[in-house]
Amino acid sequence: MEETQHHVKPREADSLKRKNKKRVSCTQCGKSLADKDSLRNHMRIHTGEKPFTCSQCGTSFRNSGNFNKHMLIHTGEKTHKCDQCSKTFLRSMGLKRHLKVHAEEKPYSCSVCANCFSDQGSLRRHEKIHSGVREYMCFECEKTFRTAEKLKTHERIHTGEKPYICSYCNKSFSRSGHLKRHERIHTGEKPYMCSHCDKKFSQSVQLKIHQRIHTGEKPEA
């Protein structure tokens, strides 16, 4: 009687190797990691080591992945393009979130106010408005924030970091919104239009002030 031979595909073989590979644990917090390289990267959380430093703004990172993502801020290279409106993005996740605008998919709804969102992350961030949870704290001044993004933006007050650089005059800014507003000086873009007389403005605050001419609203004292 012939023995039946089982042929294992290369991908399956790699998967089996990974499963059989002995995992390693962090001596500081006990977290289990896949291999020694993962452990080495993880240990930097405890040691504070950040060996990857940006030559343009001096910001340091624990791993090469975050360093490479950061460098896109300076190069401005947006390799991920929407095939529906041609808008481009620095990262694939940005494109993925944007595509939901076209699909109009908002499957995640808030249990408190019924607002709907395209992804779980947006829903979680929104729900903190209702819960009042501010779990992210600045170690410099102990101010707290609802999201990691808001904390990171705030910390630039202390570090002086200005990662957003104008492609026209090289002036730098701590927030992307400030850079966008500044660049309109160079481009002449005026995206805010008055609904009464069609006059256009580069900033929303300018539009708001102008509209008082039509509404008769007086500025707050």
Produce one character per residue of 89-122: b if its CB has 16 or more CB atoms within 10 Å, e if not.
bbeeeebeebbeeeeeeeebeeeeeeeebbbeeb
Among candidate residues 34, 62, 32, 63, the one with its CA nearest the CA of residue 47: 62
Pairing of strands 116-117, 164-165: unpaired
- Level-2 CATH architecture, domain 190-221: 2-Layer Sandwich (3.30)
Query: What's the whole-model pTM score?
Result: 0.40
Produce one character per residue of 68-79: b if its CB has 16 or more CB atoms within 10 Å, e if not.
eebbebeeeeee
- The domain spans of the chain are 44-92, 106-187, 190-221
Placement of tokens 């405890």 in the chain: 46
CATH number of 106-187: 3.30.160.60
pLDDT at 183 over 80: yes
- What is the average pLDDT value for the chain, to the nearest integer? 79
190-221 and 106-187 share a CATH fold: yes
Average pLDDT over residues 124-144: 82
The CATH fold assigned to 44-92 is Double Stranded RNA Binding Domain (3.30.160)
- 138 contact partners, CB below 8 Å, separation of at least 6: 144, 145, 151, 154, 155, 158
pLDDT (tens digit, 9 = 90+) per residue, 35-69?
888 888 888 888 888 888 888 787 888 888 778 77
